[in-house]
Structure 1
Amino acid sequence: MDIPAHPEAVYDRFMTEQAPASRNRRRWTPADGPMPALYLSHGSPALFEDALWMKELFGWAQALPKPTAILIVSAHWESAPLALSASGPGTSLVYDFGGFARRYFEMTYETPDAGALAAQVAALMPDDEPVHQHTHRGLDHGAWVPLKTMYPYADVPVLQMSLPTVHAPARLIDIGRRLRALREEGVLVIGSGFMTHGVPFLTRDQFVHNVVPDWSAEFDAWAADALSRGDVETLANYRSQAPALHFAHPTVEHYMPLFVTLGAAANPEPTVQTTIEGYRFGLSKRSFQTP
């Protein structure tokens, strides 16, 4: 996919042509049953210049009832002990990127108060997993960029939770398991990463023209197979079983939010529903929801 001649206009067209449908999306009710848990590949502000990717994310949100709130774990906030972002209305944004148009550093996403959700999350954690509330920490781009596409009018309370480890899938699965009860109240639990993230190893052709490197395709195929079988054990043993790991994930923070999502699934070995496939910048956009 080549860069469009006027990349910033893509987002403006989205807001004019697609986003208004979000206003009329019906709200979740108990009759809908638990909301799914999501793992999504989130991208940088370049997402706002990709009409297909925005259409995919927005269509995914539109296929679900509008949640009562959103709890999102992003690859871009590693913090232990477990931490929560500011929960007041109009939470600020973290512009943790560089090299993009000025307008992306001026965007806002003023969501409603998420204080009730923050209290629920803290209450769900065990005594040996204390929760720290950051009263001034905003939403980073792994949270607000995809959510600004999925829920463009910021009409759902949003709370971000830190990624407390990138070395212990079992711990993240357990955290996700404790969050499972939130789904029954209409809360959308999201792990936000990128199925492959070997940015240092991309060539110019791969990055600019979306040429898929072998290592990205190999890791994606391995993950897709394990996910299709609900094989959480294989996914958790990625260091010994995943192909091309060094290239696909030279650091693994974009892979690890997947385990929070899998932990929040109703089934401990969930067969997931893949919602987005394909590649951007040569990286896998694979995203899915759990039953």
Structure 2
Amino acid sequence: MPALYLSHGAPPLADDPVWPGQLAAWSAALPRPRAILMISAHWEEAPLALGATETVPLVYDFWGFPERYYQVRYEAPGAPALAESVRKLLRAPGMPVQDIPDRGLDHGAYVPLVEMFPDAGIPVLQVSMPTLDPQCLLEIGRRLAPLRDEGVLIVGSGFFTHNLAALRRAGGGVPGWSAEFDDWGQRALAAADVDALLDFEHKAPAGKLAHPRTEHFAPLFVALGAAEGDPVGGRSVIDGFWMGLAKRSVQFG
């Protein structure tokens, strides 16, 4: 299986005239996964945590939206066998793994999955990010890489640019910092320049403006680590902008 980094959007993504179709077309072009391992920008927990391994309610981790967005359901099967594999791959001195069995999928996980695999027939496991340190997340991805050979789709779910406060000040359109970072990131991914990506806050134009806090870029490093050794860099499957933010989404392998 490939490894993916996708921009997941907010719950209103479902109403966009273009983006849901792009996600659906992407999933249709993939081999059908045996299971899906999700790393979302919206779950930071240390030590690294495994979410529910049976079907539990979703986490509606957003506020102020119309009621219909809180009625969305995604009752995918749990993935206890995948959870056990993840424990074996990640547990090591200095890297404990915990279980939070009642933690359902948050919107960074289920919003794109509803569009990509609407039948909810594939087992899904979400794991937390125990840190936002890119190098540490890259190492986690490396340890998870063997799952790809077992039919597991590893998905890092974030947003390629993410600064809502600066976006509100921009007054509409695509702000320069978002466009500049997106262009730099596309070129770094295509060249498989992992060193530049790891140091994006200093190497990228407007790096700290595009990501004042790095949680939405951080899942990229898990996908990068899982794809290490692939002969080509990341291939952009979705690009463009949504409400001024870069929705670039990338496939490795």
**Code of the aligned partner of 1:139:** L
Deviations 1:220-269 (A, max 9, x none): 11111111100000000112212112321111100010000000004168
Q: Contact conserved, 1:36 with 1:290, CA < 8 A, in 2? A: yes
In the alignment, structure 2 segments of 5+ residues that lack a partner are none
Alignment of 1:255-274 (within 5 A): 255-267=217-229, 270-274=232-236
Please tell me the root mean square deviation across aligned C-alpha atoms, in Å. Answer: 1.4
CA distance in 1, matches of 2:234, 2:216: 19
- Aligned with residue 49 of structure 2, among 83, 86, 96: 83
Alpha carbons of structure 1 residues 54 and 201: separation in structure 2 relative to 1, 3 Å: same
Q: Secondary structure at the match of 1:253?
A: helix
- Aligned with residue 73 of structure 1, among 39, 42, 46: 39
2:68 equivalent to 1:103: yes
Alignment of 1:235-246 (within 5 A): 235-246=197-208
* RCO comparison, higher one (Cα < 8 Å, 6+): 2
State the match for 1:174 in structure 2.
139
Q: Contact conserved, 1:231 with 1:269, CA < 8 A, in 2? A: no
**Code of the aligned partner of 1:201:** A
CA distance in 2, matches of 1:57, 1:279: 14
Q: What is the identity percentage for the equivalent residue pairs of Structure 1 and Structure 2?
A: 52
Q: Secondary structure at the match of 2:153?
A: strand
CA distance in 2, matches of 1:237, 1:251: 14
State the TM-score, normalizing by the size of structure 1. Answer: 0.84
Deviations 1:49-100 (A, max 9, x none): 1120000001000001211000010000011111011111x23200011222
Provide runs of 4+ in structure 1 moved above 3 Å: 203-207
Q: Secondary structure at the match of 2:18?
A: helix
CA distance in 2, matches of 1:268, 1:125: 21
Q: Secondary structure at the match of 1:184?
A: helix
Deviation at 1:204, TM superposition (A): 7.4
State the match for 2:246 in structure 1.
284
2:215 equivalent to 1:253: yes
State the TM-score, normalizing by the size of structure 2. Answer: 0.96
Alpha carbons of structure 1 residues 206 and 64: separation in structure 2 relative to 1, 3 Å: farther
Number of residue pairs the alignment of both structures matches = 252
In the alignment, structure 1 segments of 5+ residues that lack a partner are 1-34
Alpha carbons of structure 1 residues 171 and 73: separation in structure 2 relative to 1, 3 Å: same
